[in-house]
């Protein structure tokens, strides 16, 4: 496996061929290099974490998620709602690996945009893995710290909701998701709509 943060995806060469001593033509040629593969460990022995927690990747690069430690997911979300699926990429919670065997569960994600992409672990806990900082980003620019703050706020609300719903015996994923989404989105609007 190759881990690289190469931002250059192609080399542009200008080849000149001489047809006679007085005539030269310029022929631009593009040689495409192999795209980079970025390896991300999911759920390492360091707790609830992706390692590294973000990468810069070019269109066509592959982000390879290597699942370690217990049971985690890589679920796509948004900057403002880090712990809520946006309906995009989702590995599900199918990679149970309590022995931390590297390479046992590997999922590839093909980067097809240059804009930021946001992800989290949807394991609800308690505590919420997302709320504990188990978030990941591709091309976050200078917004990763805001993503982390939003995850902590939403994760705290999710952990409280799971505890309450679990105590009354009605902790279905639908009810948790619906209530959390409504609560968090109203909290974010009040807190960050400045």
Q: Give the Cα separation of 106 and 108 in Å (integer).
A: 7
Residue 117: both structure tokens together: 């992409």
Q: What is the pLDDT of residues 25-58, one digit of tens each?
A: 444 555 555 699 999 999 976 678 999 999 999 9
Q: Give the lowest-confidence range in 9-18, 80-89, 134-143.
A: 9-18
- Greatest mean pLDDT range, 54-68, 86-100, 174-188: 54-68
Q: What is the pLDDT of residues 104-142, one digit of tens each?
A: 999 999 999 999 999 999 988 778 899 899 999 999 999
Q: Give the lowest-confidence range in 2-11, 37-46, 47-56, 177-186.
A: 2-11
Contact call for residues 140 and 116 (beta carbons, < 8 A): yes
Residue 53: both structure tokens together: 């927690």
pLDDT interval class at 169 (50, 70, 90): low
pLDDT interval class at 10 (50, 70, 90): very low
Chain-centre distance for alpha carbon 139: 9
Alpha-carbon distance values, 33 to 2, 85, 108 (Å): 14, 34, 19
**β-sheet with 135-138: strand ranges across:** 54-55, 135-138, 117-120, 75-77
**pLDDT at res. 190:** 45
Q: What is the pLDDT of residues 62-83, one digit of tens each?
A: 999 999 987 899 999 999 999 9
**pLDDT at res. 141:** 97
Q: Give the Cα separation of 160 and 150 in Å (integer).
A: 16
Are β-strands 50-51 and 54-55 bridged in parallel, bridged antiparallel, or unpaired? unpaired
156, with CB counted inside 10 A (0-12, 13-18, 19+), is middle
Residue 55: both structure tokens together: 């990468």
* Higher local confidence (pLDDT), 50 or 7: 50
**pLDDT at res. 187:** 47
Contact call for residues 171 and 119 (beta carbons, < 8 A): no
Q: Give the Cα separation of 77 and 142 in Å (integer).
A: 17
Q: Under DSSP, is residue 27 helix (H, G, I), strand (E, B) or coil?
A: strand
- Could you give the angle at which helices 144-167 and 173-192 cross, rounded to 10 degrees? 140
């Amino acid at each position: 496996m190759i881990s690289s943060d190469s931002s250059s995806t192609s080399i542009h060469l200008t080849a000149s061929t001489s047809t006679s001593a007085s005539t030269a033509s310029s022929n631009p040629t593009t040689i495409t290099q192999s795209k980079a593969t970025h390896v991300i460990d999911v759920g390492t022995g360091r707790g609830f974490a992706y390692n590294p927690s973000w990468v810069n990747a070019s269109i066509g690069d592959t982000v390879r998620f290597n699942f370690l430690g217990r049971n985690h997911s890589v679920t796509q979300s948004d900057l403002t709602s880090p712990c809520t699926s946006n309906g995009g990429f989702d590995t599900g919670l199918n990679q149970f690996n309590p022995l931390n065997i590297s390479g046992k569960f590997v999922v590839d994600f093909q980067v097809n945009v240059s804009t930021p992409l946001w992800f989290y672990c949807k394991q609800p806990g308690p505590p919420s893995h997302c709320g504990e900082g188990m978030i990941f980003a591709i091309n976050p620019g200078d917004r990763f710290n805001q993503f982390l703050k939003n995850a902590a706020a939403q994760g705290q609300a999710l952990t409280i909701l799971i505890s309450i719903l679990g105590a009354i015996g009605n902790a279905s994923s639908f009810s948790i998701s619906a209530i959390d989404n409504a609560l968090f989105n109203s909290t974010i609007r009040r807190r960050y709509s400045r």
